Amino acid sequence: MPKVRFHKLAALVVLVGFAAWVATGEFSSVGSAADPQKQDAAALQEAEARMPARTVAVVKPPRSTHARAIRISGVTEADKRAVLATRAGGVIARLPVRQGQRVKAGDLILMLDAEEKIAAADNARQLLTQRQAELSAAERLAKSGNLAKLQLDTARSNLTSAQSALRAAEAELDRNEVRAPFDGIVDRVPVEPGSAVMQGGEVATLLALDPVIARGEISERDLGFVKVGDEADVRLVSGETVKGRLRYVSRDASAATRTFRVEVAVANPEGTVPAGMTAEITLRATPTDAVVLPRSVVTLSAEGDLGIRAVDEADKVVFFPIDLIDDTPGGLVLAGIPADARVIVSGQELVAEGDSVEPVAADEQALQKLAGEAAAGTR
What CATH number does the domain located at 54-66+289-378 have? 2.40.420.20
What CATH number does the domain located at 71-78+210-287 have? 2.40.30.170
DSSP β-bridge partners for residue 178: 110
Poorest-pLDDT segment among 8-22, 36-50, 126-140, 197-211 = 36-50
Domain ranges of the chain: 54-66+289-378, 71-78+210-287, 84-202
The domain at 84-202 falls in which architecture?
A: Beta Barrel (2.40)
Amino acid at 194: G
Residue 256 has pLDDT above 90, yes or no: no
Helical segments of 145-186, H only: 149-174
Decide: 310 and 29 in contact? Cβ < 8 Å: no
pLDDT band at 143 (very low <50, low <70, confident <90, very high): confident
- Tell me the C-alpha distance between 90 and 176, whole Å: 8
Q: What percent of the chain clears pLDDT 90, i.e. is strictly above it?
A: 19
Rounded (10°) CA dihedral 283, 288, 294, 297: -120
Secondary structure (3-state) at 177? strand
pLDDT, residue 279, reads 92
The 10s digit of each residue's pLDDT in 149-161 is: 788 778 888 888 8
The 10s digit of each residue's pLDDT in 350-365 is: 888 888 888 888 775 6
